[in-house]
Amino acid sequence: MGPELPTERPRPVGSRLLRTGSLYAFASLIQRGAAFILIPVYSRYLSPSQFGVVHLSEAVASVVGTIAVFGLPPALGRIYFQNTEGTDEHKTSVSAVVQLSLGLSVGFGTLCIVLGPYAMQLVPRFSVAFHPYLSIAIIAAICLQILNVPLTIARSQERAGKYVALSLSYFGISTAGILVLVVAIPGGSYGMLLAREIAAAIMAAIGIYLVREWLFSKTTRSAASDALRLALPLVPHQLVAFVLGAGNRFFIEYYHSTEQVGLYSMAHSVGMAMSVVTATLMMAWTPVFFQKAKQGGESLKSLGDLSGAMIGGLIVIAGIGCCFGPIAVRYLLDARYAPSSQAVALVIGGYLFHGLFSLFQLAVMQSGKTKLLAPVTALAALGSLAANFILVPKFGFMGSAWGTLVAYVVEAVLVFVLAQRLFKVPYPMHRIAMWLLGFAVVLAASQMDFGQIGSVLVGSVCLTVLIIAVGFGARQYIRKLWVS
């Protein structure tokens, strides 16, 4: 026998996260960077009322898109790792998800376009017309659900370059369309929705081409039923998540106006930078989590330490956003949007806790008991609805921002308790709790009026203390990213 060939050493987790995460971050930074540059432009060409129409239309469309795919694209990230890649079982299970996702989304979307005008007649005091606004937004949402299938497969395969190319293509096409249909040809709300629909349709066609291997492969009824069994429990969870993320806009529109919706939506657009950070991290972390969770043993301890490092980083980033986000709104956007500045910090805080929810829920998905996620988010959504019902009539969009923040905190706490019962991961919770307390101080400072200079100074001092505390406490966990 010849000499044994040296086996390739497994790539450390930290290296993998840096490699894939840096690509995801690159795409997100380009998208968010360009989006932040364009937000001041949009604020000058779209009034708060027009901006509110866009976001109300897309909120309705997101519900349709969520129901249309029956939770299959989110479940695909878990189903992809059920069987060994390259086997017949693997191809059969993935093909079932792809075929069901595309078939159900097109069928359900068509049904909604036909019956939508009649359904909207039953909704009291809703000021957005189905044609053209809602119908355009629904078509775009269905197309994006189709695109989500190849995106999920690329992420599961850790082909970050392919994921980035698809994401940036959609962003580039939609941005170009908005500049033409909103800025060059002032089309208002209709122009922005139409530009996004065109971009989504183009990318959906590309997405169908990319998954043709799975789309035309043979599958089985049992594979389809297994996929639906895992995916369907995610639908109530996603719908409730919609209530948490966008349902408050309907309260604001009902009790006040589309202008107030526009003010909140602008604060949400700026604060969503935090959502992009957490989503980028989760795209890189999710396949690593499922692989290490499958190994068990010492890998679970490693999961807890690595998660501690990531949570500390997220808290610091959220603190920076709370400190300087409101200032950016006041000085960079059109003066019509200045009242939304304080809501930015609350939105950032909400997305921090939603990011913690996303991280903790991976343990629930690993246990296979995804149906338990719906009650968790349902409780949080009920709290959000109650808070909006109480606060919005009196405080407008600011009351909604506070209510949504509280709901996201409740959601994160509940899913953490559930996850620890189903698939225990040893997180360094004592340090995480102290970091979150420091973040609460930064957030509180952002809501107080110390004058322009005083607010910057107070916020900066609180932020500096937070950064030092997190950096000192997380240094050992960060070191483990490279030796895991």
Residues 85/117, Cβ–Cβ less than 8 Å: no
Instruction: Kindly tell me if the per-residue pLDDT of 6 is higher than 50.
Output: no
Least confident of 255-264, 283-292, 321-330, 392-401: 283-292
Least confident of 26-40, 47-61, 78-92, 200-214: 26-40
DSSP 180: I
Instruction: Kindly tell me if the per-residue pLDDT of 255 is higher than 50.
Output: yes
Distance CA 285, CA 196 (A): 29
Q: DSSP for 384-442?
A: HHHHHHHHHHHHTHHHHHHHHHHHHHHHHHHHHHHHHHHS-----HHHHHHHHHHHHHH
The arithmetic mean of pLDDT across residues 362-373, rounded, is 80
Residues 318/439, Cβ–Cβ less than 8 Å: yes
Instruction: Kindly tell me if the per-residue pLDDT of 269 is higher than 90.
Output: no
Instruction: Kindly tell me if the per-residue pLDDT of 484 is higher than 60.
Output: no
Query: Mind listing the pLDDT tens digit for each residue in 171-212?
Result: 899 999 999 999 999 889 999 999 999 999 999 999 999 988
Q: Where in the chain are the domains?
A: 23-37+251-484, 46-232
Least confident of 63-67, 282-286, 426-430, 441-445: 282-286
Instruction: Kindly tell me if the per-residue pLDDT of 257 is higher than 80.
Output: yes
Instruction: Kindly tell me if the per-residue pLDDT of 31 is higher than 50.
Output: yes
Instruction: Kindly tell me if the per-residue pLDDT of 12 is higher than 70.
Output: no
**Quick check: pTM over 0.75?**
no
DSSP 211: T
- Dihedral sign for Cα atoms in the order 64, 69, 70, 71: negative
Instruction: Kindly tell me if the per-residue pLDDT of 382 is higher than 90.
Output: no
Residues 130/115, Cβ–Cβ less than 8 Å: no
The arithmetic mean of pLDDT across residues 280-307, rounded, is 74
Instruction: Kindly tell me if the per-residue pLDDT of 23 is higher than 60.
Output: yes
Residues 370/362, Cβ–Cβ less than 8 Å: no
Instruction: Kindly tell me if the per-residue pLDDT of 354 is higher than 50.
Output: yes
Instruction: Kindly tell me if the per-residue pLDDT of 259 is higher than 70.
Output: yes
- The pLDDT assigned to 309 comes to 83
The arithmetic mean of pLDDT across residues 244-260, rounded, is 82
Distance CA 306, CA 318 (A): 19
Q: Where are the alpha helices (DSSP H) in 46-87?
A: 48-68, 72-79
- The pLDDT assigned to 203 comes to 94
For 230, 256, 267, 443, the CA distances from 405, given in Å and listed in that order, are 29, 20, 13, 11
Distance CA 289, CA 299 (A): 9
The token pair that represents 160 in the structure block: 């970050």
Backbone angles phi, psi at 7, to 5 degrees: -80, 145
Least confident of 128-137, 145-154, 363-372, 398-407: 363-372
State the pLDDT confidence band at 4, using cuts at 50, 70 and 90. Answer: very low
Residues 6+ apart with CB under 8 A from 248: 264, 384, 388, 392, 400, 403, 404
For 53, 183, 265, 429, 440, the CA distances from 170, given in Å and listed in that order, are 22, 19, 21, 39, 36
For 143-158, letters b (16+ CB in 10 Å) and e give bbbbbbbbbbbbbbeb
| Axis-axis angle for helices 48-68, 135-156 (nearest 10) | 60
- pLDDT over 90, % of the chain: 18
Of these ranges, 197-201, 419-423, 462-466, the one predicted with the greatest mean pLDDT is: 197-201
- The pLDDT assigned to 14 comes to 54
User: Distance between alpha carbon 102 and the CA centroid of its chain, in Å?
Assistant: 21
| Axis-axis angle for helices 248-255, 373-395 (nearest 10) | 20
For 62, 414, 459, the CA distances from 271, given in Å and listed in that order, are 19, 24, 17
Least confident of 187-201, 274-288, 350-364, 461-475: 274-288
Distance CA 179, CA 185 (A): 8
Distance CA 47, CA 403 (A): 25
Give the residue, 28 or 415, on which the prediction is more confident: 415
- The pLDDT assigned to 482 comes to 52
Instruction: Kindly tell me if the per-residue pLDDT of 19 is higher than 70.
Output: no
The token pair that represents 438 in the structure block: 């420091």
